[in-house]
Amino acid sequence: MASAPTRRGSKSLPPNLSELMKDLNGHTASFIVGFDHRESTMRKIIEEFAEISKEVRDMQWQTDTVRTGVVATGLLGAVGAAVVALGFIAAPLTGGSSLAAAAVGTVALVGANVRKTTKESESVKKVEELGKQFMETVEPLKKILEGIQTTCEKLEQKKTEAQAEDTLLKVEEFKITLTRVSELGKRTGEVLDVAVTVMERINNLLKLFLVFFSVSATPEQDRKLRESIIQSADQCQNVTDNFDKMKEELKDFRKLQTVRRATV
Q: What is the percent of the chain with per-residue pLDDT over 70, rounded to a whole number?
A: 60
The reported pLDDT for the residue numbered 90 is 41
pLDDT at 215: 54
* Residue 264, pLDDT score: 54
120-169 pLDDT per residue, tens: 667 778 888 999 999 999 999 999 999 999 999 998 887 777 666 555 55
Task: Using DSSP, state whether 169 is helix, strand or coil.
Answer: coil
**C-alpha span between 228 and 127 (Å, rounded):** 10
* Residue 147 CB neighbours (<10 A): 18
- What integer is the mean pLDDT of 54-62? 67
Q: What is the pLDDT of residue 216?
A: 58
Judging by beta carbons within 10 Å of its beta carbon (0-12, 13-18, 19+), is residue 254 exposed, middle or buried?
Answer: middle
Choose between 253 and 216: higher pLDDT. Answer: 253
**Residue 230 confidence (pLDDT):** 83
Q: What is the pLDDT at residue 220? A: 78
Give the pLDDT score at 111: 40
Distance separating alpha carbons of residues 33 and 144, to the nearest angstrom: 11
pLDDT confidence of residue 260: 61
Given CA atoms 194, 199, 202, 204 in this order, what sign does their dihedral have? negative
Per-residue pLDDT tens for 167-201?
555 555 567 777 889 899 999 999 999 999 999 99
- On whether the pTM is more than 0.75, the answer is no
Q: Pinpoint the alpha helices (H) of the chain.
A: 15-86, 93-164, 172-212, 219-263
Taking residues 73-87, report their average pLDDT.
44
pLDDT digits (tens, 9 = 90+) for 9-49: 445 666 777 888 899 999 999 999 999 999 999 999 999 99
Query: 198-245, pLDDT tens digit by residue?
Result: 999 998 888 877 766 655 567 777 777 788 888 888 999 999 999 999
Residues 251, 243: Cα–Cα separation, whole Å: 12
If we measure between CA atoms, which residue out of 106, 108, 102, 109 comes closest to residue 77?
A: 102
Question: What does DSSP assign to residue 134?
Answer: H
| Average model confidence (pLDDT) across the chain | 74
pLDDT band at 263 (very low <50, low <70, confident <90, very high): low
Residues with Cβ within 8 Å of residue 106, at least 6 apart in sequence: 70, 74
CA 36/CA 38 separation, integer angstroms: 6
CA-nearest of 191, 198, 199, 177 to 149 is 191
Of residues 74 and 238, which shows the higher confidence score?
238
